[in-house]
Amino acid sequence: MLSYVTRRIIMLVPLLLGITLISFVVIHLAPGEPTDLQTQMNPQASSELQDRLRVQYGLDKPLYVQYGKWLAQLVQFDFGESFASDRRPVLDKILERLPVTILLNVLSIVLILAVSVPLGVVSAIRRNSGFDRTTTILVFTGFAMPSFWLALLLMDWFGVRLGVLPVSGLKSLGYEYLSWGAQLLDRITHLILPVFVSAIGGLAGFSRYMRSNMLEVIRQDYILTARAKGLSERTVIYKHALRNALLPVITILGLSVPGLIGGSVIFETIFAIPGMGKLFYDGVMMRDYPLIMGILVIGAMLTLLGNLLADLSYALADPRIRHSQQENSST
């Protein structure tokens, strides 16, 4: 098992290297440079200034030199400095945006799981019933609805017309003067709409997935055995069937690890939430190469780690995989 993990981790290195190389080249293929965007169409900025900026940023060097320099910094865990006029370290910028992005994504996943698992299970047990059909329609409507549109409608309804929820942002003005409980309430009310809107799109996929898993499992012989033993339907479904149907969820959770730090631009823009999606989007628009690369590298690392974790936890959770691996490694 240990050698398996080591092997997997070592394999990540060339993979990561390849990802960074491709990303680096692709980003530089996009027309326009950060210096153009900072100085052009500004009558006060001369051509010499643009040339000077290019030298300061190292953009005058050939691409492979730029990549080499960037890579040399990266192995020392230095993501470099942003090309934006604030020249802040890329890592600072990312760390500033990370907590709120993770918070929202975790809450959203929890909400998705909490709703879609029971939905999927009940839909599977009562396949083709009225309940099954209604939920199908509802979750797909949620899936098909553009999130920005839904967000604006909810903001207008709950924020402006009813006035019960804040429209946007994370905290109210004067938050720091509130009592502990009021602060918590303030945060929660600010999170309700964003979490709801970001979860609604994910409900469809997850609940359908859960439903088909469950259907698959219910057809298995051991469920028949369980029923034959005379176990109650409740025990059969929730103890024997559900556990097995939940196994593939591990894969999905593993795959959603990189999603935890990725945000949606549209969604963050609408709710005025300073998250990773907006940071990345602004970085791309400004051709802020170090920032874009920093986010991509962290994203790539998390994706690879997420895959690894999913595989490993699969092995832990499912004895069949664990055993077959041991046989493999012993041969």
Partner 1 sequence: MHTVFYKLAFIPLLLLFLGACSNSEKNSLPGVDQTLAPEFGDTFIEASIGDASTLLPVLASDSASSSINGLIYNGLIRYDKDLQIEGELAESWEIAEDNLTITFKLRQNVKWHDGAPFTAADVKFTYDLYIDPNTPTAYAEAFKQVTHVEVSDPYTFVVHYAKPYAPALISWATAVHPRHLLEGQDVTKSKLARNPVGTGPYRFSEWLGGEKIVLESNPEYFEGQPYIKRVVYRIIPDVSTQFLELQTGSLDFMGLAPLQFARQTDTPAFRRLYNKYRYLNFGYTYLGYNLKKPLFQDKRVRQALSYAIDKQEIIDGVLLGYGVAATGPYKPDTWVYNPDVPKYGYNPVKAKQLLAEAGWQDSDNNGILDKDGAELAFTIVTNQGNDLRSKTGEIIQRRFKEIGVDVNLRIIEWATFLKEFINPGNFDATILGWTGGPEPDQYNIWHSSKTGPRELNFIGFKNAEVDQLLEEGRRIFDLQQRKVYYDRFQTILAEEQPYTFLYIGEALPAVSRRFRGVEPAPAGIRYNFNHWFVPKAEQKYSR
Cβ of residue 107: shortest distance to partner 1, in angstroms? 18
Cβ of residue 293: shortest distance to partner 1, in angstroms? 17
Cβ of residue 51: shortest distance to partner 1, in angstroms? 10
Question: Measured from the CB atom, is 195 or 241 closer to partner 1?
Answer: 195
Please give the full DSSP string across 260-285, using - where no structure is assigned: HH---HHHHHHHT---HHHHHHHHHH
- DSSP annotation of 158: I
Cβ of residue 168: shortest distance to partner 1, in angstroms? 5
Query: How far, in Å, CA of 133 to CA of 129, rounded?
Result: 6
Q: How far is CA 136 from the centre of its chain?
A: 25
Q: Where does this chain bind partner 1 (CB under 8 A)? A: 30-33, 36-47, 49-50, 52-53, 56, 84-88, 93, 96-97, 152, 155-156, 159-160, 163, 166-171, 173-174, 177, 268-272, 274-275, 278-279, 282, 285, 287
Question: Measured from the CB atom, is 69 or 171 closer to partner 1?
Answer: 171
Question: Measured from the CB atom, is 8 or 54 closer to partner 1?
Answer: 54
Cβ of residue 52: shortest distance to partner 1, in angstroms? 6
Q: Residue 176 carries which side chain, given as an amino acid letter?
A: E
Cβ of residue 237: shortest distance to partner 1, in angstroms? 44
Tell me the CA distances in angstroms from 166 to 154, 189, 191, one per residue in order.
Answer: 11, 7, 9
Cβ of residue 150: shortest distance to partner 1, in angstroms? 13
Helix (H) or strand (E) run with residue 38 in it: helix 34-39
Residue 90 and residue 283 in contact, taking contact as beta carbons nearer than 8 Å? no
Residue 210 and residue 119 in contact, taking contact as beta carbons nearer than 8 Å? yes
Question: Measured from the CB atom, is 73 or 168 closer to partner 1?
Answer: 168
Query: How far, in Å, CA of 278 to CA of 282, rounded?
Result: 6
Residue 60 and residue 54 in contact, taking contact as beta carbons nearer than 8 Å? yes
Question: Measured from the CB atom, is 206 or 289 closer to partner 1?
Answer: 289
Question: Measured from the CB atom, is 89 or 205 closer to partner 1?
Answer: 89
Question: Measured from the CB atom, is 87 or 133 closer to partner 1?
Answer: 87
Cβ of residue 19: shortest distance to partner 1, in angstroms? 24
Question: Measured from the CB atom, is 174 or 230 closer to partner 1?
Answer: 174
Query: How far, in Å, CA of 89 to CA of 147, rounded?
Result: 32
- Helix and strand numbers (H, E) in the chain are 16, 0
HEC assignment per residue over 290-317: HHHHHHHHHHHHHHHHHHHHHHHHHHHH
